[in-house]
Structure 1
Amino acid sequence: MKYLRLKGNLEQRNVDNRLSYNPDIIEFYLSEQDLESPDLIRDRIRQLHKRGVKPYLHHPPKFQGEYLDILSSNPAVRRYYHESSELLARICKEERAKCIIHAHYTHTESCHYITRERTVRLREEIREILTYARDVFLWEDSTAGLFAYGTNPYLVDELIVPLELPLNVDVSHAFISCGGDNERLQHVLERTKPYAEYYHLVDSMGIEHDSLSLGQGRIDWRMVKPLVLGKDFIFEITLAGDHSDCTPMVDSARYFANVETADGIGVK
């Protein structure tokens, strides 16, 4: 099957499940605890390389139970953000991988007071992270706040363009931040296309972070498909139980393969 691009964790059972489908890409979603075992991260990346699978990592979302924010007023969170980024940059450079990273998550401090000045401050904080490895990190958008396309009108012109920032565009996050409006989502995808190297393909009703399988939400995949083809992406679908069974991601890949583009031509 085409477009088998999956997400998982570092547990061997989880890795074996994904590899059984002979995917093109696997993205490892890392935890704070995973970073305590950098050799294990390296081992999993090497397993993928041996199978001809392209590896991506995802920066941990939390530190000591608190969602990360590059502008956090908590010195411990800011310190962890930098130390973890530096570690992952080193691993990715040495093991030939890339890493998805959030400037902040929803409900953190960066979701308040969206101004040009705070956007510039965020830009300069990101610039510092880029000194660890510019070509390693791909920056993912949130559903609200300073790094959300639908809520920050300054994000592209004041931050992304000046930094020529490599992006991971999460289609569902963008859709939610745009209030579930497919026309606004299309504008975001067109505007960010020169900088987007990678996508998370996930469906959504456009109201909250629901992470649905493709076809179960309101995103217009006929519109989205031609805008993301030719770039790397995964199907980032919420899984049940211990997340060892990635069937909903495989089903989404099948759905995507069968989507006809907006001009009526099927691209498989």
Structure 2
Amino acid sequence: MLLGLKASSDWGQIKDRLQYHPDVFEIFTDVPDFTPQGIQHLRQAIEYVQDQGITNIVLHQPMNFKGYHSELIVPEQQFPELYEFVMTTAHQLIDLAIATDSQCLIHGSYDGEHGFKAMLSAYGNLTNAQATCYHRLDQLKNLGGNHVMFENSISPVFAYGDPQVENEIIRHQFRLVADVSHIFFSLHGDNERLVASLRHLKNNIYHYHLVDSLGQTHDSLPIGTGKIDWSSVIPLLNPSATTIYEINLKNQLDCQEQLASHQYLSTLGY
């Protein structure tokens, strides 16, 4: 298994992760990273990580903006400021990923909260919202090419687990990110359907978020402490893809929970 670690653009977090010599480094961006000074700092952070010999770098679009999730389906007329933020940061990250030969990660959707219901209601039904999501993902795919990837959600707008939905996602030829816990939670803790989804989408997945869950809430547990059957999951991962451990940390300046997850998989022989 690759050692993939995640941090913000904070120098303290970055240096904590780098002491363990990860193979993959994911930078979770936030609103301050998109001021002129923030973008400059973010680029310096990317270059600093690259100077340590790490070539697999993923830039994660901000999750939140002023109390809302950065939903890709955000209606422009009802939420003009949020729409501007979501689209502008997506374009800025794609440009930065291309310039630094990194990867940009965009969420197809989130968890059905933080403004989601109001956004969904603007479309009348889920089918219309999904059509808008796919259309915007197509635009970003055309813009970013091999430097942009799209992560699955817990909300039904862009969730894995339904074979028919997955067939439509495959038809669009999106480069996918699979958060294993998101699939597990969306399927109410069903390991058999989780495995089926990972097998079905395997050739389209370029990056994984490895994180455990009890399957009831978005709990982001260290691997081995939830109910995901990792001995069935790991053999189904695309060997050409990158991976990181996206675990809730007690201390953002100490990634011990991520390291413990890696060690757990090592004890299973991976």
Q: Which residue of 2 aligns with 1:123?
A: 134
Consecutive unaligned residues of structure 2, counting only runs of 5 or more, are none
Structure-2 separation of matches of 1:78 and 1:145: 20
- Equivalent residues of 1:85, 1:132 under 8 A apart: no
Structure-2 separation of matches of 1:167 and 1:100: 9
Q: For residue 120 of structure 1, report the CA deviation from its aligned partner.
A: 2.6
Alpha-carbon displacement from aligned partner over 1:131-189 (angstroms, at most 9, x marks no partner): 32122221111112211124x6643222x122200001000000000110000100110
Structure-1 separation of matches of 2:238 and 2:175: 17
Alpha-carbon displacement from aligned partner over 1:70-126 (angstroms, at most 9, x marks no partner): 111312222211111111111110111101111221121466776444423321121
Of residues 87, 100, 106 in structure 2, which corresponds to 1:95?
100
- Equivalent residues of 1:100, 1:137 under 8 A apart: yes
Of residues 71, 74, 77 in structure 2, which corresponds to 1:72?
74
Distance 1:7 1:114, change over 3 A: farther
Distance 1:115 1:9, change over 3 A: closer
Of residues 256, 260, 263 in structure 2, which corresponds to 1:247?
256
Query: What SS does the corresponding residue of 2:82 show, helix, strand or coil?
Result: helix
Q: Which residue of 2 aligns with 1:18?
A: 17
Structure-1 separation of matches of 2:224 and 2:159: 23
Q: Which residue of 2 aligns with 1:42?
A: 43
- Equivalent residues of 2:4, 2:24 under 8 A apart: yes
Structure-2 separation of matches of 1:221 and 1:18: 24
Alpha-carbon displacement from aligned partner over 1:22-51 (angstroms, at most 9, x marks no partner): 111110111011122111111111111111
Q: Which residue of 2 aligns with 1:135?
A: 146
Matches within 5 A, 1:152-163: 154-158=164-168, 160-163=169-172
- Show structure 1 runs of 4+ deviating over 6 A: 110-114
With the length of structure 2 as denominator, give the TM-score of the two structures. 0.89
Identity %: 30
Amino acid at match of 1:78: Y
Distance 1:10 1:171, change over 3 A: same
Q: Which residue of 2 aligns with 1:238?
A: 248
Query: What SS does the corresponding residue of 1:146 show, helix, strand or coil?
Result: helix
Matches within 5 A, 1:175-194: 175-194=184-203
Amino acid at match of 2:158: F
Distance 1:43 1:182, change over 3 A: same
Q: Which residue of 2 aligns with 1:263?
A: none
Structure-2 separation of matches of 1:129 and 1:239: 31
Consecutive unaligned residues of structure 1, counting only runs of 5 or more, are 260-265
Structure-1 separation of matches of 2:153 and 2:218: 10
Give the paired residue count.
257
Which of the two has greater helix per residue?
Answer: 2
Amino acid at match of 2:166: V
Distance 1:147 1:114, change over 3 A: farther
Distance 1:52 1:111, change over 3 A: farther
Between stretches 48-57 and 13-22, larger displacement belongs to 48-57
Distance 1:226 1:94, change over 3 A: same
Matches within 5 A, 1:168-207: 168-207=177-216
Say whether 1:7 aligns with 2:6: yes
Distance 1:123 1:23, change over 3 A: same
- Equivalent residues of 1:34, 1:41 under 8 A apart: yes
Q: For residue 247 of structure 1, report the CA deviation from its aligned partner.
A: 0.6
Distance 1:204 1:121, change over 3 A: same
Structure-2 separation of matches of 1:60 and 1:132: 19
- Equivalent residues of 2:205, 2:238 under 8 A apart: no
Say whether 1:60 aligns with 2:27: no
Amino acid at match of 1:48: V
